[in-house]
Amino acid sequence: MEHRDKLGLYGEYKFTLDDKNRFFIPAKLREKLVPFGRVFILARGLDKCLLLYSLNEWETLSQKVSRLPLTLPEARQFTRHLFSGAYECEMDAQGRIPLPQYLKEYAGISREIVIIGVGDRIEIWSKDKWEEYFQKTDTSIEDIAANLKEYEI
């Protein structure tokens, strides 16, 4: 079985963007990321969140996406969505990452954010969108889990 969560990124953390639109990577997540470097890729995700990948994980994802058939409209759409908004960023000495305005707008972020570790990546959500999403999925998590049975979850 493939281990997708090599980084072991887990947890939920609430933060506020600073005046320069930077956010902190929580210390518990930062200590797992630092061995992979200080340069990351921040990209548009699904469900109107942002994705933060180490360069290693981004390369793994890029290779998988590059194998999608160019002839499928869905593959082209997904590839464009993912790569057109990708932003290479560097974490500063205090553990902050700049958030470009276009990604901030895409995710509907004003100031309050929620950062969640999701195994091999970090997701950055608008606090309001995360609470809405979590409330919606929390009520049906048993049904969602049952539908994933074929993946040996």
Render pLDDT for 119-133 as a digit per residue (tens, 0 to 9).
Answer: 999 999 999 999 999
Give residue limits of the domains in the chain: 9-126
Percentage of the chain beyond pLDDT 70 is 95
How far from 66 is each of 3, 74, 86, 123, CA to CA, in Å? 20, 13, 15, 22
In this prediction, residue 106 has a pLDDT band, given cuts at 50, 70 and 90, of very high
Residue-level pLDDT at 6:
67
Q: What is the CATH number of domain 9-126?
A: 3.40.1550.20
Residue-level pLDDT at 145:
86
Which DSSP symbol is given to 35?
A: G
Q: What is the mean pLDDT of the chain?
A: 92
Q: How far apart are CA 14 and CA 41, in angstroms?
A: 21
**The pLDDT of residue 141 is above 90:** no
